[in-house]
Amino acid sequence: MGNTATVGRPTPVPALQKYLLGASLLVASGLAWAWSLNPPSQMSTDTASFVAIWTVMMAAMMLPSTLPTVSLFATVARSRRQFGFPAAPTAAFVIGYLGAWALLGVAVSLTSVLGRPAAHTWSEPVAGAAIVLAGAYQLTRWKSLCLGHCRSPLNFFMYHWHDGTAGAAAMGAHHGMYCVGCCWGLMLALLALGLMNPGWMALIAIIIFVEKIAPAGQRVALLTGLVLMVTGGVIAFGLVPFH
């Protein structure tokens, strides 16, 4: 582990705790979906408000695909606690993970071309180019590396483990940055297509889930990239209605 301690084979989380953990993440995701689909009618468009909106949306879309990673984290943390190491709360790991997405939200909010968070103001050429870029990234080595980390995080925990609440949050943020590296292209496509559109949100969330969980996830990422590039080209040249 990151602090050179050896704990042997991790003791699995008891089945009931595992189910409760999974249910908690799914409930949190469901509540975030409910809020995202029915946001307050009066929302400020300043940076803080946008980041809050963005982070809730990321919780809705990303938490289901983190279930295996969070379960593995809880297993390792429980095993280490049995050997006398300080507790590393799973909640802190999840909060750190969402913090990484919140930082991306700050960057997005500072990009003036996006306009208001819920507005769909991109022209066809700009939106099409953004979607082509998102698709092209799906085919890159960086996408493959980050996706591989998200699909198999055990090595990350072996070499970057930190005990305690602060350590758990730091690990969550670190893992979250890999997840941002994996999915930022898909989020760019979502921004181009319509950030607050429930249909596009659901489709992107499903793609992310399949990429990270399904055995053929890497191939799905490549196929998604090709589809996005074609779609972006069609939009950029005005061959289909966009607004």
Question: How does pLDDT run across 128-145, given as a tens digit for each residue?
Answer: 999 999 999 999 999 999
4-18, 32-46, 157-171, 229-243: the lowest-pLDDT one: 4-18
Structure tokens at 35: 């809020």
The answer to whether the beta carbons of residues 23 and 67 sit under 8 Å apart is no
The answer to whether the beta carbons of residues 183 and 176 sit under 8 Å apart is no
Round the CA-based radius of gyration of the chain to a whole number and report it: 19
Instruction: Tell me the C-alpha distance between 126 and 131, whole Å.
Output: 9
Give 130 or 45, the one with higher predicted confidence.
130
Give 58 or 194, the one with higher predicted confidence.
58
Average pLDDT (44-62) is 86
Instruction: Tell me the C-alpha distance between 141 and 34, whole Å.
Output: 35
Average predicted confidence (pLDDT) for the chain: 87
Q: Cα angle vertex 225, ends 220, 228, to 5°? A: 120
3-state secondary structure of 162: coil
Band of residue 167 on the pLDDT scale cut at 50, 70, 90: very high
Q: Is 59 a residue whose pLDDT tops 80?
A: yes
Q: Is 113 a residue whose pLDDT tops 80?
A: no
Highest mean pLDDT among 50-64, 74-88, 105-119: 50-64
pLDDT at 30: 93
Q: Is 127 a residue whose pLDDT tops 50?
A: yes
Give 123 or 212, the one with higher predicted confidence.
212
Average pLDDT (20-43) is 83
pLDDT at 41: 60
pLDDT at 10: 54
